[in-house]
Amino acid sequence: MAKFSVFKDQESLFACPICQAPMHLDLSSLVCQNRHTFNIAKQGFVNFLRQTKGDKHYDMASFEKRSQILAAGYYDSILEVISERLRDLPGHSHVLDVACGEGYYSRQLAQEFDKDFMAFDLSKDSILLAARQNPQKNVAWFVGDLAQLPLRENSIDVILDIFSPANYQEFGRLLSDHGLIFKVIPHEDHLKEFRQLLPEAQAYSNQDVLEHFQESCDLLERVTIAKTWSMPSEHVQTFAEMTPLFFHANKETLDLTSVTQLTVAGELLIGRIRDDKQSWLFVNCSG
């Protein structure tokens, strides 16, 4: 079955999260030599976490809203730039989508590229939705923890980290010698129309995130991607319900009627873990 074959194709990349031993596909499960077993769900994903913590801001309803916005194409300009850069990397075969949410980017890219795509999130709801929306079963979806991923050292060629947290120590462990990080961070103009409704959020800078990236990585390329969209009121409302900007705002006092367009703006940072960081990371990861 297709949902098993994608894990069969990529079984050599997995490492047991309990004992770090290599894993292989055994019928409908990933199993290590110590018989730690993780079943592949009928929807086509693996849950490597023994227990998951819920978050009211990141439940199934919130991911469904994100799915609607992404499907409407508002983030396609970011997808297109990532796709262009991946075309320049024919030898980079193994791609990991970090904190992938409902999996939009991996699903789209897996249709275009003959590469092995893996994608994970801490949220089981998001991975369940991602797997359901991937009938081709060409992405290995799993629930995992960014602090300790069930993957072997030097197994990944490209890490996609799109509007998501980063763990550069873990990235350094996973990336191959020629591996790259594609990190997308919000630009200062991202959702500026919403920020104007929140006095405390009007001033935004991504400088801290950029500096953190450059502490661990050599910055090879930096691309600004921005587009302002005219938007129907129902999409404005859906955007407002999904964005972290409004997680702690009093939504009853927000007047969205004045918002008729939204700017989606990000910066793509392409980098490689610095040589001095690779040595430091190796020492720390090996104990």
Mean pLDDT throughout 22-45? 97
Residue 275's pLDDT is: 81
Residue 54's pLDDT is: 62
- What percentage of the chain reaches a pLDDT higher than 90? 80
Beta strands 156-162; 139-143: pairing state: unpaired
Residue 283's pLDDT is: 32
What residues form DSSP beta bridges with 116? 94
Distance CA 151, CA 156 (A): 9
Q: What is the mean pLDDT of the chain?
A: 91
Q: Tell me the three state secondary structure of residue 279.
A: helix
Residue 91's pLDDT is: 86
Residue 58's pLDDT is: 78
DSSP line for 192-244: HHHHTT-GGGSS---HHHHHHHHHHEEEEEEEEEEEEEE--HHHHHHHHHH-G
Residue 276's pLDDT is: 72
Alpha-helical regions (H) of the chain: 2-9, 60-71, 76-87, 104-112, 124-132, 168-174, 192-195, 207-216, 233-242, 275-285
Question: pLDDT digits over 211-259, tens only?
Answer: 999 999 999 999 999 999 999 999 999 999 888 888 877 767 788 999 9
Residue 100's pLDDT is: 97
Among 113, 89, 102, residue whose Cα is nearest residue 181: 89
Distance CA 157, CA 172 (A): 11
Question: pLDDT digits over 161-212, tens only?
Answer: 999 999 999 999 999 999 999 999 999 999 999 999 887 766 778 999 999 9
pLDDT for residue 4 is more than 70: yes
Tokens coding 162: 């799109």
In this prediction, residue 277 has a pLDDT band, given cuts at 50, 70 and 90, of low
Residue 203's pLDDT is: 72
Question: pLDDT digits over 127-167, tens only?
Answer: 999 999 999 999 999 999 999 999 999 999 999 999 999 99
Measure Cα distances from 65 to 3, 80, 91, 128 in Å.
25, 22, 35, 15
Q: Domain containing 52: what range?
A: 2-285
pTM of the model: 0.92
CATH code of the domain in which 56 resides: 3.40.50.150
What residues form DSSP beta bridges with 262? 229
pLDDT for residue 286 is more than 50: no
Count of structural domains within the chain: 1
